[in-house]
């Protein structure tokens, strides 16, 4: 990899650039983004200059799409036509099936490998970029390569760079990825939102005064901005509906167990699982 283009110079894109640099990448890193984001990316030292998507596709051999999902879905048809055969395109979108389907349809000569870094922070933009954002965090690479054989020759390079920036790389199909994040990311988001919405409906002001730190944990995700989530949830609707259905069943069972005074089993199972996440 000699020249990298970051498309979408926000928190993830700029952090990826800083991480590459810290891991020893010495080629040029260019940014494709709004003028405001290019400016922030330059100020953060993440990119050397701004460029158009066309220029990036011509000159970069790694193109990193760090836009929101709906923007990635718009970028792929444009990029797919112009990116040359020696170019590897990868993305950081939170769901993988739709993006990979779009890549399979539109990426003509270049190769595409879908990715998803499970990293982030509350503040957004290149201003918050951090070379260690991906360190010790899961980073999924989808095994649905586009096109298969051509992308396979590119795969080791991206995998190696991800390992050099400290990410813990997992490889799985886009379908397994989307099912998994429906359970571990989208479901928790919706449960937190539903909890805050349930409390907001109460007539008494006591609910916003009389609470402990547990409620703060459980409503932190509810602070998320809707616009970030809409395209994530839309692009994973079936898996998210399944995950909600699973949860509704567990909650109904738990409710029945509470009526019968038999909660020990579910508390034990839950506690062991929560501990296993922390090992």
Shorter beta-carbon distance to a second copy: residue 59 or 219: 219
Shorter beta-carbon distance to a second copy: residue 85 or 276: 276
Alpha-carbon gap, residue 155 to 187, rounded angstroms: 30
Shorter beta-carbon distance to a second copy: residue 48 or 221: 221
| Least separation in angstroms between CB 92 and a second copy | 13
Q: Could you tell me the end-to-end alpha-carbon distance of the chain, in angstroms, rounded to an integer? A: 35
Shorter beta-carbon distance to a second copy: residue 42 or 229: 229
| Least separation in angstroms between CB 225 and a second copy | 7
Identify which of 143, 29, 154 has the alpha carbon closest to the alpha carbon of residue 88.
Answer: 154
Identify which of 189, 274, 197, 195 has the alpha carbon closest to the alpha carbon of residue 240.
Answer: 189
Shorter beta-carbon distance to a second copy: residue 149 or 225: 225
Nearest-5° Cα angle at 36, 31 to 39:
60
| Least separation in angstroms between CB 20 and a second copy | 21
Non-local (6+) Cβ contacts of 203 within 8 A are: none
Write down the residue that tokens 């020990």 correspond to.
264
Shorter beta-carbon distance to a second copy: residue 52 or 198: 198
Shorter beta-carbon distance to a second copy: residue 24 or 209: 209
**Burial class of residue 35 in the structure, from the number of CB atoms within 10 Å of its CB (0-12 exposed, 13-18 middle, 19+ buried):** exposed
Alpha-carbon gap, residue 269 to 45, rounded angstroms: 47
| Least separation in angstroms between CB 158 and a second copy | 18
In the beta sheet, which residues pair with residue 30?
A: 5, 49
| Least separation in angstroms between CB 38 and a second copy | 27
Six-digit token string for 19:
């991480």
| Least separation in angstroms between CB 227 and a second copy | 9
| Least separation in angstroms between CB 195 and a second copy | 6
Shorter beta-carbon distance to a second copy: residue 151 or 240: 240
Alpha-carbon gap, residue 221 to 185, rounded angstroms: 10
| Least separation in angstroms between CB 186 and a second copy | 10
CA distances from 158 to 42, 64, 87, 112, 209 (A): 24, 10, 12, 11, 49
DSSP 193-237: HHHHHHHHT-S-GGGGTS--HHHHHHHSGGGS-HHHHHHHHHTTH
């Amino acid at each position: 990899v000699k020249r990298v283009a970051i498309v979408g110079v926000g928190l993830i894109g700029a952090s990826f650039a800083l991480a590459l640099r810290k891991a020893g990448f010495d080629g040029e890193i260019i940014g494709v983004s709004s003028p405001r984001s290019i400016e922030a990316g330059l100020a953060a030292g993440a990119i050397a200059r701004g460029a158009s998507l066309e220029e990036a596709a011509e000159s970069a051999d790694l193109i990193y799409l760090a836009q929101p999902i709906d923007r990635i879905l718009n970028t792929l048809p444009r990029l797919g036509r112009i990116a040359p055969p020696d170019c590897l395109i990868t993305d950081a979108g939170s769901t993988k099936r739709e993006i990979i389907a779009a890549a399979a349809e539109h990426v003509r000569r270049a190769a595409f490998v879908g990715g998803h870094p499970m990293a982030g922070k509350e503040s957004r933009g290149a201003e918050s970029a951090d070379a260690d954002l991906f360190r010790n965090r899961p980073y999924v690479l989808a095994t649905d390569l586009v096109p298969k054989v051509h992308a396979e020759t590119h795969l080791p390079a991206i995998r190696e760079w991800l390992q050099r920036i400290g990410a813990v790389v997992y490889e799985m199909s886009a379908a397994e990825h989307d099912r998994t994040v429906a359970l571990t990311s989208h479901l928790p988001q919706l449960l937190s939102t539903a909890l805050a919405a349930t409390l907001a409906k109460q007539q008494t002001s006591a609910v916003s005064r009389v609470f402990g730190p547990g409620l703060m944990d459980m409503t932190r995700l509810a602070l998320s901005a809707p616009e970030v989530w809409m395209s994530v949830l839309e692009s994973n609707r079936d898996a998210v509906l399944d995950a909600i259905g699973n949860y509704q069943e567990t909650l109904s069972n738990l409710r029945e167990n509470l009526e019968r005074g038999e909660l020990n089993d579910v508390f034990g199972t839950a506690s062991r699982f929560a501990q296993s996440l922390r090992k």
